[in-house]
Structure 1
Amino acid sequence: MKHARTGAAVLGAALSLSFLAGCGQAEGPAPAAPPAQTAPAHNDVDVMFAQGMMPHHEQAIEMSRMAAQNAGSQQVKDLAARIEAAQGPEIDKLNGWLRDWNAQQSGHGGHGGHGGHAMTGMMSTDEMASLGRTKGPEFDQKFLMLMIKHHEGAVEMARTEVEKGRFPDAQQMAREIMISQQSEIDSMRTMLTQH
């Protein structure tokens, strides 16, 4: 019984303090609720960047997998492995953004969804088939020339995102693509002189 009286006394004191604290406040509007956390804004350029870069990266991965089988040079095989390792996770991010934005994913799936040339640097179906039929040093030359063209297209798409996009994460990815793929372009040009 003693515990019940103590609990009631504590409850009564707490209610009295709450009432007194409320009496001391000046009347006025209730404080505004804190703003809801919202995702950073995006625009149509961000959506186009994600929709375009996904199939672009998928085609680069397809080309890189050909290199694992057909390249004559270990240097080309190593480059292709780095390209695949970098672009796979980027595809996942791009896909996630499109889901978050309720934006339609482009008709991706390698080069087939775009007829090959809908985006800058994309290989045509014929170019991909021709690359797949070559082996050894001939493959190395063709792969390097096509991948340079492909990377140049990605750099151009990334530049547009940096200049006109709005979504910070997409712009950051675009900056990273510009840096990494330009570096790979420079390396591939050097490799072309060696093969």
Structure 2
Amino acid sequence: MRRGLWAALLGLAVLALTGCAMGESAPAAEAPLANQADIHFSQQMIPHHQQSIQVAELAAQRATSEFVKSTAEEIRMQETAEVGTMSGWLRSWKAEVPSTSGHSGHSGHSMEGMLTEDQIAALSAASGPEFDRLWLTTMAQHLGNGVRMATAVLASGQHTETRALAQNIVTEQNAQIAAINGQLAG
């Protein structure tokens, strides 16, 4: 009798452990994987953010307006963190990660949504209040391009975290554009 009881208890223990192990893997299977739209978004948004960082660093060197300096620093910090996040996703998906060494590079300037080399050169050559005004108009355009890119992945992406980042980009960058437009109007 004892032997049957021990066998039953052992069977229950094995069943319980097997159930626990199966339960641990279920959430990972339920998480939506990235589709091509999610991958493309990160691969395009990384160089776009790198260019934002480049333009923000110009403001740190050339701006006279405290609004421009503080907005540039906010953009630089936020987008640097997002580049790290998207790079991590791409590595986890075993997808190509765009180079983040240096700035956006000349090849990225031809990508849709990027500022042109002439726009970057004009910013680099400007100074004082002229720089501030040019920076505001250029950054508003660049942020608007980022909003369009994020809106596109919201329509076709399936990776939950990518969609959350894209929604945050839409919200944050629209707010930054509104603040920039307010400065330009003032």
- Band of TM-score, shorter chain: 0.7 to 0.9
CA contact (8 A) 2:106 2:117 kept: no
CA contact (8 A) 1:107 1:113 kept: no
CA gap of 1:20–1:75, structure 2 versus 1, over 3 A, is closer
Deviation of the 1:169 alpha carbon: 0.1
CA contact (8 A) 2:51 2:104 kept: yes
Instruction: Return the match for 2:97 from 101, 105, 111.
Output: 105
- The Cα RMSD (Å) is 2.4
The corresponding residue for 1:34 is 22
Residues 44-59 of structure 1 correspond to what in structure 2 (within 5 A)?
44-59=36-51
The corresponding residue for 2:5 is 17
CA gap of 1:22–1:98, structure 2 versus 1, over 3 A, is closer
**Bigger share in helix:** 2
Residues 1-195 of structure 1 correspond to what in structure 2 (within 5 A)?
16-20=4-8, 34=22, 36=25, 37-38=28-29, 40-106=32-98, 110-120=103-113, 122-194=114-186
CA contact (8 A) 2:47 2:108 kept: no
Unaligned runs of 5+ in 1: 1-12, 24-29
Aligned partner letter, 1:17: L
**3-state SS, counterpart of residue 189 of structure 1:** helix
Identity of aligned residues (%): 31
Deviation of the 1:21 alpha carbon: 5.1
**What is the alpha-carbon distance in structure 2 between the residues aligned to residue 20 and residue 54 of structure 1?**
57
- Normalised by the length of structure 2, the TM-score is 0.85
1:1-57 superposed Cα distances (whole Å, 9 cap, x missing partner): xxxxxxxxxxxx6x552225579xxxxxx98x7263345311000001100110111
The corresponding residue for 2:14 is none
Unaligned runs of 5+ in 2: 12-17
CA contact (8 A) 1:111 1:123 kept: no
**What is the alpha-carbon distance in structure 2 between the residues aligned to residue 140 and residue 184 of structure 1?**
15
- Normalised by the length of structure 1, the TM-score is 0.81
Deviation of the 1:107 alpha carbon: 5.1
Deviation of the 1:188 alpha carbon: 0.6
Aligned length: 175
Aligned partner letter, 1:79: T
**What is the alpha-carbon distance in structure 2 between the residues aligned to residue 22 and residue 84 of structure 1?**
59
**What is the alpha-carbon distance in structure 1 between the residues aligned to residue 10 and residue 67 of structure 2?**
75
